[in-house]
Structure 1
Amino acid sequence: MTELRLPHDTVPVRRFSGAGTMVERNLLIYRHTWYLLLAEVFEPVLYLLSIGVGIGELVGRVPGLGDSTVGYSAFVAPALLATAAMNGAMNETTFNMFAKLKLNRTYQSIRATPMTARDIALGEALWAVLRGTLITTGFLVVVSVLGMAHSPGILLVLPGAALIGFAFACVGLVVVTHLRSWQDFQFIQLAMLPMFLFATTFYPLGVYPRWLQIVVECLPLYQSIELVRQPSLGQFGAGLLLPTVYLAALGLLSLRWAMARIDRVLTD
């Protein structure tokens, strides 16, 4: 009797089908709770209306950008778009995933199936990217309706949001495997809030001294904002290469680390 062997190329196919199953599972769950995504769109809209529009009436035009026609609200809106993609993806792989990992023990049940830790990590990352992109799309609609789309290049926000979501989703996968209790989420806020405030969300990089500019340029949210803000303001060119490579590398390295961490956590 001849032994039946699967072709070698079925391994990556099965891996991606396993990740797709995780995405499908989350879609089925969010089919009944889709309105929760609206809350994450509502938060950046509040920032945009209170700071971008409110303070924007006092600030007027933003100096030092090379384009004197850029209003403050048009400057802030792309940064809030990038922040929405970041929060949408990272909330999924930290807050929501922590409950499935530590409390509901969802993944322990999933591991009883042929799915592996790699399937779980990749599937949750893909779902977080989709979730972050959906939130960004909703916010982009609001920005366009309010007339804050300064350039047709703002449409590049969507692929940019997917890359931002991928990077932060994978970082979140690593972080969640180190969390011990809900109290540890304070450390996440301790990192995220200063980054949100100082990563040029509300003012240009030039307001800082040079040594602090270098620190800010190393922040992943700064690179995310640059990836979105430049095309939103009609700036295209080599300046988009650095944030693209930075976020892609951050996401891939974090995903590889997360796969090993999740496998270790589920095995213990």
Structure 2
Amino acid sequence: MLNAAVGRAARTPISPRQATGLLLYRNYLAYRRAWYIFLSGFLEPVLYLFSIGVGVGALITGFEFNGETIPYAEFVAPGMLAASAMNGTIMDATFNFFFKLKYNRLFDQMLATPLSTMDIARGELSWSLLRGGIYATAFLVIMVAMDLVSSWWALLVVPASLLIGLAFGGVCMALTTFMRSWQDFEYITLATMPMFLFSATFFPVTAFPVGLRWVVECTPLYRGVVLCRELTTGALSWGSAVSVVYLVAMGLIGLVVVRRRLDKLLLT
């Protein structure tokens, strides 16, 4: 009777919402005693804000953005917030995801339950979004305390940061399934560092030549930086809608690739 009950439970399907909740709870249990790890990706943008946004900002009057001149610190802060959301998502979508996939074989164990590869992909991406959202929310509080927010539209910065996390989390998880060793993660750094420095984070994109400007405007961090800057300054434009569609599409495409790659790696 016990074996029959266990067999019925193992065959009982669970909803996507239940599966995502289970994976979020599992990751919470794994991290609750190591909360200090979360600080690693959050402190770097904060330090940049104080050193460059405030320090260099004392030497620069400001930049024009969507027809309005704003102080330099107010220009840089949304870029740092977007970078904070990116950092928080990438940590779990790359290194931690790779460890679970290749080393402790956690996903193989999960597939022995009613969970599917799509459940795993969705749950891991949701956890990455949660971490990035926490970073962005804390950073927004710092911006408000420093009087770097000039519009009530800034309340939408947290959902915007989740879109940034969706884009980077989906794509980075997809790329991680192709990684063979820890050394391959140098490619992730090689891609994210230039985006952090040149995606209109510290200076307007108009400083670039036209050809290079088009390349920068196609990067996900640029779309996230512009979206956050438009929300915190209230200088909204049609570019806001373009950024939202771009980030959502990028994240969903990445999620589909992750599911297919997990099917290939774990089910064949």
In 2: Cα distance, 1:65 partner to 1:195 partner: 21
Shift of 1:20: 1.9
**What are the within-5 Å matches in structure 2 for residues 161-200 of structure 1?**
161-200=161-200
> Bigger shift: 15-24 or 204-213?
15-24
Q: Residue 23 in 1 paired to residue 6 in 2?
A: no
In 2: Cα distance, 1:23 partner to 1:212 partner: 40
Shift of 1:39: 2.7
Would you say how many aligned residue pairs link Structure 1 and Structure 2?
Answer: 257
Shift of 1:65: 4.8
Q: The residue matched to 1:203 in structure 2 has which SS?
A: coil
User: Who is 2:41 aligned against?
Assistant: 40
**What are the within-5 Å matches in structure 2 for residues 200-215 of structure 1?**
200-215=200-215
In 2: Cα distance, 1:264 partner to 1:14 partner: 23
User: Who is 1:146 aligned against?
Assistant: 146
Q: TM-score by structure 1 length?
A: 0.91
Shift of 1:24: 1.3
User: Who is 1:263 aligned against?
Assistant: 263
Q: Residue 228 in 1 paired to residue 243 in 2?
A: no
Tell me, which stretches of 5 or more residues in structure 1 are unaligned? 1-9
In 1: Cα distance, 2:16 partner to 2:66 partner: 46
* One-letter amino acid matched to 1:54: G
Q: The residue matched to 1:148 in structure 2 has which SS?
A: coil
In 2: Cα distance, 1:145 partner to 1:30 partner: 28
Shift of 1:63: 3.9
Q: Deviations over 1:37-75 (max 9, x none)?
A: 22322111100011111111111221465223x111100
User: Who is 2:60 aligned against?
Assistant: 59
In 2: Cα distance, 1:64 partner to 1:127 partner: 34
Shift of 1:267: 2.6
**What are the within-5 Å matches in structure 2 for residues 36-185 of structure 1?**
36-63=37-64, 65-68=66-69, 70-185=70-185
The answer (yes or no) to whether the contact 2:66–2:235 under 8 Å persists in 1 is: no
Shift of 1:152: 2.3
In 2: Cα distance, 1:130 partner to 1:76 partner: 24
In 2: Cα distance, 1:190 partner to 1:35 partner: 26
Shift of 1:120: 0.4
Q: TM-score by structure 2 length?
A: 0.91
Q: Deviations over 1:193-236 (max 9, x none)?
A: 11111111100011112111111111111111111111111112
In 1: Cα distance, 2:89 partner to 2:17 partner: 20
Tell me, which stretches of 5 or more residues in structure 2 are unaligned? 1-11
CA RMSD of aligned residues (A): 1.5
Once superposed, which parts of structure 1, at least 4 consecutive aligned residues long, lie more than 6 Å away? none
User: Who is 2:245 aligned against?
Assistant: 245
* One-letter amino acid matched to 1:244: V
The answer (yes or no) to whether the contact 2:81–2:139 under 8 Å persists in 1 is: yes
Shift of 1:126: 0.9
In 1: Cα distance, 2:71 partner to 2:258 partner: 41
User: Who is 1:3 aligned against?
Assistant: none
Q: Deviations over 1:5-46 (max 9, x none)?
A: xxxxx97x6233212211111112222222222232211110
In 2: Cα distance, 1:142 partner to 1:64 partner: 22
Shift of 1:148: 1.5
Q: Deviations over 1:110-147 (max 9, x none)?
A: 11111111110000011111110001111111121122
In 2: Cα distance, 1:142 partner to 1:52 partner: 13
The answer (yes or no) to whether the contact 2:42–2:87 under 8 Å persists in 1 is: no
Shift of 1:101: 1.0
User: Who is 1:254 aligned against?
Assistant: 254
* One-letter amino acid matched to 2:40: A
Q: The residue matched to 1:59 in structure 2 has which SS?
A: coil
